[in-house]
Amino acid sequence: VLTCIRGAQEEDPPDPQLMRLDNMLLAEGVAGPEKGGGSAAAAAAAAASGGAADNSIEHSDYRAKLTQIRQIYHTELEKYEQACNEFTTHVMNLLREQSRTRPISPKEIERMVGIIHRKFSSIQMQLKQSTCEAVMILRSRFLDARRKRRNFSKQATEILNEYFYSHLSNPYPSEEAKEELAKKCSITVSQVSNWFGNKRIRYKKNIGKFQEEANLYAAKTAVNAAHAAAAAVQNSQANSPTTPNSGSSGSFNLPNSGDMFLSMQSLNGDSYQGAQVGANVQSQVDTLRHVISQTAGYNDALGGNTMYSPHGLNANGGWQDATTPSSVISPTEGPGSVHSDTSN
DNA sequence: CGCTATGATTTGTA
DNA sequence: TACAAATCATAGCG
């Protein structure tokens, strides 16, 4: 592809260093064919990248700078080439003049030209080197995302937190779930993964600190969860073995609270085969348990276990084994039974 | 400016 | 390869 300089010189030594530089410049789009004027190229690149708009905006500055480097590189290169040619013809003229006084072999001329070209190509090499350096610096400055960290929008954080706290017993979104969250939050899937990675580790590290937040988001989604859980319980009750009713009609002003608690009971009770509703309801249980723990006094209705605590966290300090399906949440003891109240 | 919050990266592991 | 943990580097706040 690159034939700009090729014609003139520097093809004899298969210099690996030079190859490296050339390749890099090519890869960075500094060398190679000119693609229209600076801003136009930037705009085109931004448009071509499609997808996240903020991403291209973020990179437009980088693009502009890169174009600048590219232009400098090309003008310098041209200058060098021109100087090289001028100098060559100058020397040729000198030699021609001398040829009047003494015989000059074509071989000698060739040798002189070779020397000149080598000199200039070493200069070019330096140019390429410094251009590469500039590009590298630019990259680290603009593309290292850590330097350009932006907090996610309030709304995005909201969505992520909602998911996290409503799946607290197993906050590992599937690939599809990540994609959906990414879409909803206008961020990338890796950002979602990063977020959950950070959230899990930080939540686990200091649960007390997140308690308030947890309750907030639990309450936030409680209404929806209640509806969903109630609906789910309608289905599960059809083939559920027993449905004990230990009253506990809550002063909890949610619609269908009665069903909600029944559902809780059957889920946390000893022998529940979580296969049917299990996974779906589990998230709602998480949410509900938060609310319940907050309102206090309903613990007995939930099987007697101390409810809140790092539920979902096992003794080893991890969430339940990620390899086991979430539908089997230790049948004998509810998810909340781990209980190692370390909050605060 | 010092502090904490937070997104991203690096490193090590199963 | 996904994750945990440690770490980095910046954002944002008082």
What confidence tens digit (pLDDT) does each residue in A159-186 have? 999 999 999 999 999 999 999 999 999 9
Domain C-terminal end among A232, A261, A294: A232
Judgement on whether residues A120 and A26 belong to the same structural domain of the protein:
yes
Report yes or no: A166 and A217 within 8 Å, Cβ to Cβ: yes
Cα–Cα nearest to A120, from A74, A80, A78, A79: A80
Q: Beta carbon of A107 within 7 Å of strand B?
A: no
Would you place residue A158 in the very low, low, confident or very high pLDDT band (cuts 50, 70, 90)?
A: very high
Answer yes or no: is A3 within a domain. Answer: no
Domain C-terminal end among A199, A232, A265: A232
Domain C-terminal end among A179, A204, A232: A232
Answer yes or no: is A286 within a domain. Answer: no
As a rounded value in angstroms, the CA-to-C1' distance for A63 and B13 is 39
Distances (CA, A) of A276 to A51, A174, A203, A295: 39, 19, 30, 29
Strand partners, A319: A313
Q: Beta carbon of A151 within 7 Å of strand C?
A: yes
Q: Beta carbon of A150 within 7 Å of strand C?
A: yes
Q: Beta carbon of A201 within 7 Å of strand C?
A: yes
* Tokens matching residue A200: 């899990």
As a rounded value in angstroms, the CA-to-C1' distance for A102 and B2 is 80
Judgement on whether residues A90 and A163 belong to the same structural domain of the protein:
no
Judgement on whether residues A79 and A117 belong to the same structural domain of the protein:
yes
Q: Beta carbon of A309 within 7 Å of strand B?
A: no
Answer yes or no: is A319 within a domain. Answer: no
What is the rounded distance in angstroms from the CA atom of residue A18 to the CA atom of residue A20? Answer: 5
Judgement on whether residues A109 and A163 belong to the same structural domain of the protein:
no
Answer yes or no: is A86 within a domain. Answer: yes
Answer yes or no: is A111 within a domain. Answer: yes
A290-300 pLDDT, tens per residue?
A: 655 554 333 33
Judgement on whether residues A23 and A136 belong to the same structural domain of the protein:
yes
Judgement on whether residues A23 and A112 belong to the same structural domain of the protein:
yes
Answer yes or no: is A44 within a domain. Answer: no
Judgement on whether residues A201 and A87 belong to the same structural domain of the protein:
no
**A87-91, A146-150, A251-255: least confidently modelled range:** A251-255
What is the rounded distance in angstroms from the CA atom of residue A227 to the CA atom of residue A88? Answer: 86
Judgement on whether residues A22 and A81 belong to the same structural domain of the protein:
yes
Q: Is A210 a residue whose pLDDT tops 50?
A: yes
* Tokens matching residue A132: 């590469």
As a rounded value in angstroms, the CA-to-C1' distance for A213 and C4 is 23
Judgement on whether residues A63 and A93 belong to the same structural domain of the protein:
yes
Q: What's residue A321's pLDDT? A: 45
Judgement on whether residues A141 and A179 belong to the same structural domain of the protein:
no
Judgement on whether residues A86 and A192 belong to the same structural domain of the protein:
no
As a rounded value in angstroms, the CA-to-C1' distance for A56 and C12 is 24
Counting the structural domains of chain A, the total is: 2
Answer yes or no: is A99 within a domain. Answer: yes
Domain that holds residue A179: 154-232
Would you place residue A155 in the very low, low, confident or very high pLDDT band (cuts 50, 70, 90)?
A: very high
* Tokens matching residue A337: 């039974």
As a rounded value in angstroms, the CA-to-C1' distance for A202 and B4 is 13
Would you place residue A192 in the very low, low, confident or very high pLDDT band (cuts 50, 70, 90)?
A: very high
As a rounded value in angstroms, the CA-to-C1' distance for A140 and B13 is 29
Q: Is A195 a residue whose pLDDT tops 90?
A: yes
Q: Which of residues 140-169 of A touch strand B (CB under 7 A)?
A: 144-146, 149-152, 157
Q: Beta carbon of A154 within 7 Å of strand C?
A: no
Judgement on whether residues A24 and A134 belong to the same structural domain of the protein:
yes
Q: What CATH number corresponds to the domain at position A202?
A: 1.10.10.60
Which nucleotide is nearest, taking the CA of residue A192 and each C1'? B7
Answer yes or no: is A237 within a domain. Answer: no
Distances (CA, A) of A70 to A24, A38, A61, A74, A77: 13, 9, 14, 6, 10
∠A198-A159-A184 over CA atoms, to 5°?
A: 105
pTM greater than 0.85: no
A118-152 pLDDT, tens per residue?
A: 999 899 888 888 887 777 777 666 666 566 788 99
Rounded to 10°, the helix A278-295/A207-238 angle is: 130
As a rounded value in angstroms, the CA-to-C1' distance for A94 and B1 is 67
Q: What's residue A235's pLDDT? A: 61
Q: Which of residues 172-191 of A touch strand B (CB under 7 A)?
A: 187, 190-191
As a rounded value in angstroms, the CA-to-C1' distance for A187 and B1 is 32
Which nucleotide is nearest, taking the CA of residue A175 and each C1'? C2
